[in-house]
Chains A and B, each alone.
Chain A
Amino acid sequence: MKRIKLFVTAVMVCLSTLAFAQSKVAGVVTDSESGETLVGASVLVKGTMSGTTTAADGSYSLKVANPAEAVLVISFYGYKTAEVPVNGNAIVNAALKADATVLEETVIVAYGTQKKEAVTGSVTSVKGETLASAPVTSVDRALAGKLAGVSISAASGQPGAITQIRIRGNGSINAGNAPLWVVDGIPVVSGNLGVSTSANNSTLTNLNPNDIESITVLKDAAAAAAYGSRAANGVILVTTKSGKEGKAVFTARAKVGVNWLNPDTDFRMMTAKELLGYQRDAIINAGQDPDNPKSGYYRPLSILNGKTYNALREFSRTGKTQEYEISARGGNSRAKYYSSFSAQNDEGVFYGVEFQRLQGRINASYKLLDNLESGVRFNLAYTKQSNVPMNSLYYASPLWAGETLLPWQQLTDENGKYISVEGINSGENPRVVAATDDNWEKIYHLNGTVNLKWTPIKNLEIETKNSMEQFFQETNHYYSPVGHKNSTANQLDNVDQYLQQLTTSNTITYSNIFGGYHSLRALVGQEAMTYKTHYREAYSPEVDPNMPYHTTADQTTTEIGYGESAETMLSFFGIVDYNYDNRYFAQATFREDGSSLFGEDNKWGAFWSISASWNATNEKFLKGIKNLDLLKLRVSYGVNGNNGISAYNAYGLYGSAIYNGLTGYLPSQIENRRLSWEKNKTINVGIDFAAFNNRLSGSIDVYNRKTVDLLLTKQIPQTTGFSSIFSNVGSMRNRGIEIQLEYTILQNKDLFWSVGMNAAYNKTKILDLGGDEFLGSWRRQVVGRGMYSYYLYDYYGVNPANGEALWVASIDEKGNKTLTNDQAQARRYYAGSPEPKWVGGFNTQVAWKGFSLSAFFEFKAGHQILLLNENHYLNSDGAFMTMNQFASQLNYWKKPGDNGVNPKPVAGTTSNSNEWESDRYLENASYLRVKDVTLSYTLPQSLTKKVGVKNAKVYVSGLNLYCFNDVYFWDPEQGVTGSGAGAYPTTKSIVGGIELTF
């Protein structure tokens, strides 16, 4: 590391000796309204070819031949071009007026900022304010449906839980499909930190959505190539707010709301009366007497005389959310700062579920010298997630127990106090468990970056960013003896997890305009990263309930666990942008990554891209066309990597083996010296356009993304001693098209109305699995098909004659089906896939004076889900008499001739009509969701100024208010594999908020 720093210094010194001509005229270009400096504005001496662009601080300097008469032409995308006479002055400042017709001027891209016009790759971005109002705990949830080609699925609706993000489909089977998150130029840790299987704890919850200035998603190889071996699944660049020159501005925000659980289909469980009638029929169908106390199933009508419950209602509630925040922003010509502090509390819809967060941020910069600037960006967060068993079929899960417990199961005593359930559900009443267990995860997070930016000479910028990200996580799960009338009572399990990621990122950027037409930016950089994590676990099978700590356990029974993982990476990269006369743009990117994850022979990988675009509207022959504001063609090709595998996969390893009183070693993993990255080769062709005075704008992209060297577990002869080796075989492909459109329907002084939409079609095809035809069992990866294919038994329907389930045994060439009532004889076939063909969203916004109403819709279409666990047990035709059933089970065969209904229920049936892996339970999961609707009102300034408030806004916002879908369950979103089990459903919420700026 020392050597790296030395070298960067050496390079700096070497470059600073390059001599340049002294400038005669200098100045700063700013935004006339905000006073913010403009970076990259073009400054030309009128009538000549000589010119320059403004530096990072908005300054420029150039040589002028005739200062007395020269006129500077200063232009910047998104602003009206200004002509400023020099008049012999040495300092010429210019303030440009925004050109309101252009919506977005610059975008954050890999290692820099680019004029939107100059972007050659496929990027899409969203402004922070469109994310901030939504009542979500992490920013990824607010992105759903907002960006073309970015699919966000929630496998769990629990506050703080992760989402599954797929940019342009699934490109990998074993190396992960999640994009790289980069915050303020530094890649950050993302994913699920949850320790216990029922916890789901996203690292992204430590980011406050209100701190975010903008998010850019880099989708194709060209845009993302600068991130090399981590770029294959796309890159999400988050930029947090910086300070602004000017008087301090304080913003205070408060948000309160509620969230609740409600399916938007007619899904529900049976009532006591319905279930009793159903079970009595099932018992009679089984040839037994429900009124005979000695029969296996005794279900007299008198059951209804006792107290009955709606268990789900007992275990769930209306959750309350609240969030408070204050931020400050300001600065002068040398120092700038942005700081915020927020507190948030989300109660879940189930008793015992809660998410709390305290978070603070400081982004500050200071100009040490005119050409030397230093900055810090610190984010501190504390989160506490209180959990109940969830996300699987746990007895103590309020969701699963709420669905399964028989309505006549007594949940309370005569005084209404919740009690353990007797003789069923492992004795666990989730309401008691939630109240008495001590089950939580706390995360203490620090992410700090210090940067130093030096401009030794004009047009050259040297920057070093050094970052430290740390997580300390504590988890505690104490099983109360009141909640658990079983062997888990008084167990205590603690896990402490530590995680540290250190990054240094050093870049040198040179940018200039030559001869007035040739604009060049060249960047070289170096990065190094280390990632280390370890955990310690202490588990005691029995502690004293009065002092539930390990100290009260029989010390010989306490078990200690430990695990660790480490990873390092070293990178060199370069980017060259060139543009000729704002008409022709080209970019080339190269990155060389070395990683500890890979085999001795393949530690280094090279990634690259080339891309070009043509802005036809700047051609003379298109200048005259009225109503055409922008027409740009883009094309790119590149190779990116995917390194998303766990550490040490390349090593030949020995593990420990206990035998005959000795702890010896045994080979545990076979060495693969050639283990390497998965490579994504992506070609992208796109078009951007704007017309009718920029009222209509949009872009269309088509791409072909091919993954080669897929990391798969390759089968090898067992005579080697192993049966498989992790190696680079296989390939797959994603192809698709993305469309994004915005249209301003109305725009005048008081009224504004716009609509927008985005849609993406993607098709995944597995090309080669290294010799295997398929992987997996009922949910497979199959050569020639997509990422997931459901391979299911072919359910035909009910036999109208006798109410039995019928299955298709075979289909002959003519399409004639041979039917059977024996499930074991049923044929299997590829019945569907959970991968949506289309994802997208549309939005509309109406603003009238201070009022603004925005609505945002999200959709996914063309896919199926298989809720095999829930259906097997709860749609069971009598197989599970100790569980409540879906109300849809009431629609069953009652008499000969009934068709299109469920098979007749038979108590304790072994007919397997409720076979898990059956297309009977396959459901069309297409949906259209009213994702968020926000109504806001900004009070007139004339009013607020009197009380010293610059800006006051009140709003009310609803999230997930309604979802159009046909899935008979809580929600059609069941994660990317479409088959969750007991997952916390997506909830609905409404919040009201107020935002004051002063």
Chain B
Amino acid sequence: MLDFIKRMQLQKLLALGALIILYLFFAYFGRNFVSVPTTLSILSRSYFVGFLAIGVTFVIITGGIDLSIGTVMMCSALIGGLLFTVFGFPLWLCLIIMILVGTAFGTANGLLVTKLGLPPFIATLGMMMVSMGLGSILTNVRAQNFPTLLGENAWFVRLFLRTEGNIPTGAFFLAGYLILTFIILKMTKLGRYTYAIGSNEEAVRLSGVNASRWKMITYMISGTSAGIASIFFAAAYTVMTPGTGQGFELDAIAAAVIGGTSLSGGVGSVTGTIIGVFIMSTLAVGLVSIGLRAPYQVFFTGVVVIGAVFLDIQRTRRANRVKK
């Protein structure tokens, strides 16, 4: 059992505990908190952040960062909406293109970081602006609409968000993606190299592994995840506004950090990240249920992130101390 806890990593366990405590707290003090609509509200705002956060977790574990995911997601959604409403593409094709747009941006990030040797922070910051600009240029700064549950193509919302009967269908996709990425990280070569690069990239290279190629793949995963996230964002929010999307990347990174992923690389897990996502959305919905406005969500999320980073630094320091 002790071994199990050790393997789980303390911080992830803590995050899970915090999530449960938060939920119980709001269940007791919040208005109508334990109910179907509240649960749906927590879920529907978690889907897209969940995909973004899972994707960026790969990059963070390698010791990098991807700041472009929020605007890449919005750019994908805008392109999808444009093709759907203006060019009349079938919706399913638009969805595939949206994912591919994300992959393309991820590939571009990966090339900038591995081939041109740009620091990830700068490369993806640049790509953040590029994707935001591109979305605005292509749509001529016009908002793009997606189907709702009420009109034509309602299957889109029914499949990716919820049905009229309140079945949270989006959750199945997120769970599936979680399992898939969990397997990749823990049981495949890609996952092993992801952790290894974050631990000591030079050592990986000197071991005869093409580290750049694997690092590149993590950026592609991050971009692709942003593309997938755009589908769920569109399903939940219908209207896509050009020039927005900035800020979602920080939510996703915060979720990863809360879930125990270390910004210095080498440590992290997608399960922890998902716990982080739900801590943030439970906090957001919960604070409203006790009558606090939006700014308080931002405030408390900030407190949680600072706490999580503080723990991360404590742990890193401790690890370094053992070494001496």
**A pairs with B:** no
Q: Chain A: residues with CB nearer than 8 A to chain B?
A: none
